[in-house]
Structure 1
């Protein structure tokens, strides 16, 4: 799996747009590439499959915090191995996903999951992996959860806040708190 300091791989994936445009067949689809939001931080999170149980809880939680990430000049990309058509169908038929403001990327060839090292060897699906990628395309945070355990998007936001300070941040540090200052 990619880790801190690695370069996030180049990609070009079909996606279902976030927001209302992502609910209409004539406006739902787009292509998102590794250069689509150049100069911004990127939060890229993978989930195993659409139409499952844990996945929508995470996707909705990341979606609810999309504005908080945007306030920090960070775009949020959700990725699974399902096609853009499956993503659209899921959004249309899952009440909590209908208002999802973030795009759902379709890694149907499993290329991005494989390039990041998050493809589960037994199941052939992406693990619950999360990456924070800086504007220079360098991975600054990488985490993976077991397929059965959901993530904490608030913790990802806390880590992003800490990374963006370019300072030493203690355990459980939160935005607005003092950072560590080594003795001179």
Structure 2
């Protein structure tokens, strides 16, 4: 297993095929570092498609998509399944048909390996979430074991705190005072 990348490190260089639509002929594109340059980004990884916990998380991120946009933040979901498996899953799972963000296909496992988030025996990504600033620096990481879903509200709360560029006390939420 490669070394886990953490806060204050550069998000790895990557270029991966992605599913962005169900419309015939417009299903796929490539997402790379150039697409994220100059914008806040949230990347969240799940172990594999056609499973049980993963679609609950993906659907919850999708429900919160506008909140990420309101924060001028791009959202990317990823697993090590291929773009073709992602497309089939989206076509066959009611909660995934209307996704508003790309599903990254890290099928060569290069991005997951560079981040150090592959499970040591299962060789699928842990449920890792990264907030990356406009300069490409990792500002927050949360990693759950394979069986435990994450909290999208906490990702948004942390993004809000990071975007204040101020000192934020425990349990701080948008609209509350920061520490001067």
**TM superposition score category, shorter chain reference:** over 0.9
Q: Give the drift of 1:59.
A: 0.6
**What residue number does 1:16 align with?**
19
Deviation of 1:26 (Å): 1.0
- Structure 1, gaps ≥5 residues long: none
- Alignment partners' CA distance in 1, 2:82 and 2:105: 5
Measured after TM superposition, the shift of residue 37 of structure 1 is 2.9
- Structure-1-length-normalised TM-score: 0.95
2: distance between equivalents of 1:102 and 1:137? 19
CA distance in 1, matches of 2:148, 2:171: 21
- What's the TM-score, normalizing by structure 2? 0.97
Q: Map Cα deviations across residues 104-142 of structure 1 (whole Å, 9 max, x no partner).
A: 000001000000010111101011000000001100001
Number of equivalent positions: 177
1: distance between equivalents of 2:134 and 2:170?
Answer: 25
1:11-160 aligned at under 5 Å gives the runs 11-17=14-20, 22-160=21-159
**Aligned with residue 5 of structure 1, among 2, 8, 24:** 8
Q: Secondary structure at the match of 1:105?
A: strand
Residues 34-43 or 106-115, more deviating: 34-43
CA distance in 2, matches of 1:56, 1:2: 26
Measure the CA separation in 2 of the matches of 1:45 and 1:79.
Answer: 6
CA distance in structure 1 between the aligned counterparts of 2:123 and 2:161, rounded to whole angstroms: 34
Q: Secondary structure at the match of 1:39?
A: coil
Q: How big is the shift at 1:25? A: 3.2
**What RMSD in Å do the two structures reach over aligned CA positions?**
0.7
